[in-house]
Amino acid sequence: MSEASRMPDPECARAHGLLAEFADDDLPASQAAWLCGHLEACAQCRAALAEFAEIDRELNGWGRQLSLRNPPPGGAREQLAAKMASPAARRTPMRWIPAAAIAAALLVVVTMPNRKPAVVTSAANPSGSRFIEIPYLPPPDPHENSTIVRMNIRVATLISVGYRVTADPDTVVPADVLVGEDGRAYAVRVLSGIEWG
Amino acid sequence: MADGATANPAKVATTADLARDEALRWFDELRDPLRRYLLCAGASPADADEAVQESFLRLYRQLEKSGDLSNLRGWVFQVARNYLRDERKSARRQRSVPLDDAMEREGRLADPRESPEHRMLGEERTRRLRAAIEKLPADQRECMLLRASGLRYREIAAVLEINISSVGVLVRRATVRLSEELA
């Protein structure tokens, strides 16, 4: 019988919620004692624990096998440390083409006639909204002079550069864009009340 | 006494050093589970290794910039996952392999000491497990993939930014579904 088709009593529901921590031996002693007592009395929960342990074993075995059969390359840590030590590597954008595309997209958007403007809850910075970096772009140098450009951006553009936005893609929202000395957009601060991040 | 001109670069270097040490410490701790997670999610070994490198390089930049991150584990897994997703979208590079291909690869690399029957059964079971995981709702699937990567449930809760009892509920629901699929 599936989980959805029966309604476990509250004690069984509580027991099910504790199985994960129990499996890792992370359950506080008092809860572990309660769970053990319940398991002694409840055949259904004993079966659930057995089922849980079986799947858990399979998951662990699968992940371990994949890892063993595809061992990591040697020297990965040294390679990473070398990249970190290299100022050029640190400053070089990982993907300059998407960066240029973002800048171009933002530029196009700012020149577009506004359609369906979103309601702005404040002219300045509503609900403490802050700048969020455009995903996967290295941040500008801390000593770099950045410029903040206020513009109207389509939600679809924000989504296309990696932000999660819960609003109609055709909506246009006011935003501040942090532009570095190289002319690239590095971060965005949406000024309307939409949920984003 | 050092003047401002010499003191400032020294301070910057120290910040960078601290960020590098911190990022490398997290690399030592999270590299294996992160790599396992990416492999379980269907990444090729090459893509998984690249995603790991990029994730920790980005972590370094972030630590150098802000010095701290809330939910660092979750942040690293999220960056790696997004990186992998974007790589898959890229038309230029299609090194990520579908799950079935990954399974084939596993089969080819299987221990030759295993009997063919035993190996076939194991491969079939793994294939079904992976197919069943792919059918799960996103939150349950994520939970199972993170578990397969070797994380403890408390760590999974931290990565997903949910409480441990919610992880328990997700795991229970996923387990019921997987058991039904694998029965």
* Domain housing A98: 88-196
- Give the closest-approach CA distance of B40 to chain A in angstroms: 6
Measured between beta carbons, which residues in chain A are less than 8 angstroms from residue B30? none
Q: Do B172 and A85 touch (CB under 8 A)?
A: no
Q: Which of A16, A60, A69 sits opposite B109 (nearest CB)?
A: A69
* % pLDDT > 90, chain A: 17
Q: How many CB pairs under 8 A join A and B?
A: 142
With an 8 Å Cβ cutoff, is A136 touching chain B? yes
A167-183: average pLDDT = 79
In a domain, A82, yes or no: no
In a domain, A79, yes or no: no
**How high is the pLDDT of residue B143?**
93
* % pLDDT > 90, chain B: 30
One domain, residues A159 and A120? yes
With an 8 Å Cβ cutoff, is A93 touching chain B? no
Which is more confidently placed, A118 or B48? Answer: B48
Q: Which of B27, B48, B176 sits opposite A80 (nearest CB)?
A: B27
User: Would you state the structure tokens that stand for residue B154, as one six-digit string?
Assistant: 């408390």
One domain, residues A104 and A135? yes
Q: Pick from B8, B153, B169, B181 the residue to mutate for testing the A interface (most A CBs within 10 Å).
A: B153
Q: Do A51 and B180 touch (CB under 8 A)?
A: no
CA distance B67 to B71: 13
Measured between beta carbons, which residues in chain B are less than 8 angstroms from residue A90? 57, 60-61
User: Would you state the structure tokens that stand for residue B69, as one six-digit string?
Assistant: 């991150």
In a domain, A64, yes or no: yes
Which is more confidently placed, B71 or A60? Answer: A60
With 0-12 / 13-18 / 19 or more C-beta atoms within 10 angstroms meaning exposed / middle / buried, residue A57 is: exposed
With an 8 Å Cβ cutoff, is A40 touching chain B? no
Q: Which of A55, A69, A81 sits opposite B20 (nearest CB)?
A: A81
One domain, residues A92 and A188? yes
Residue B182 confidence (pLDDT) above 60: yes
DSSP E strand stretches across chain A: 132-133, 147-154, 165-166, 172-179, 185-190, 195-196
Q: Which of B86, B102, B153 sits opposite A24 (nearest CB)?
A: B153
Tens-digit pLDDT profile for residues A32-81 = 999 999 999 999 999 999 998 988 988 988 888 888 888 888 899 999 99
**How high is the pLDDT of residue B112?**
57
CA distance A81 to A15: 46
B28-50: average pLDDT = 92
Residue A5 confidence (pLDDT) above 50: no
A161-189: average pLDDT = 79
One domain, residues A184 and A102? yes
What type of residue sits at position A10? P
DSSP summary character for residue A128: G
One domain, residues A54 and A111? no
One domain, residues A23 and A113? no
The pTM of this model reads 0.61
**How high is the pLDDT of residue A29?**
94
* Residue carrying structure tokens 């694998």: B182
One domain, residues A93 and A33? no
Q: Pick from B171, B180, B181, B182 the residue to mutate for testing the A interface (most A CBs within 10 Å).
A: B171
Tens-digit pLDDT profile for residues A93-123 = 444 445 555 555 555 444 444 444 333 333 3
A11-19: average pLDDT = 89
In a domain, A80, yes or no: no
One domain, residues A63 and A151? no
Per the structure, the count of domains in chain A is 2
* Residue carrying structure tokens 């040697």: A74
Which is more confidently placed, B38 or A137? Answer: B38
Domain termination residue (choose one: A37, A69, A101): A69
User: Would you state the structure tokens that stand for residue A19, as one six-digit string?
Assistant: 């199985």
Which is more confidently placed, A120 or A187? Answer: A187
- Give the closest-approach CA distance of B104 to chain A in angstroms: 12
One domain, residues A101 and A159? yes
In a domain, A76, yes or no: no
In a domain, A54, yes or no: yes
In a domain, A186, yes or no: yes
A129-147: average pLDDT = 68
User: Would you state the structure tokens that stand for residue A156, as one six-digit string?
Assistant: 């679809």
Tens-digit pLDDT profile for residues B91-138 = 444 444 444 455 444 544 455 566 667 767 777 878 888 889 999 999
Domain termination residue (choose one: A18, A39, A69): A69
**How high is the pLDDT of residue B93?**
45
Q: From B48, which residue of chain A is nearest by alpha-carbon distance? A: A72
**b/e code B55-73 from CB counts within 10 Å (16+ = b):** bbbbbbbbbbeeeeeeebb
ipTM passes above 0.85:
no
Residue B157 confidence (pLDDT) above 50: yes
One domain, residues A51 and A92? no
Q: Which of residues 95-134 of A touch B (CB under 8 A)?
A: none
Residue B13 confidence (pLDDT) above 80: no
**How high is the pLDDT of residue B147?**
92
Tens-digit pLDDT profile for residues A148-159 = 878 888 888 788
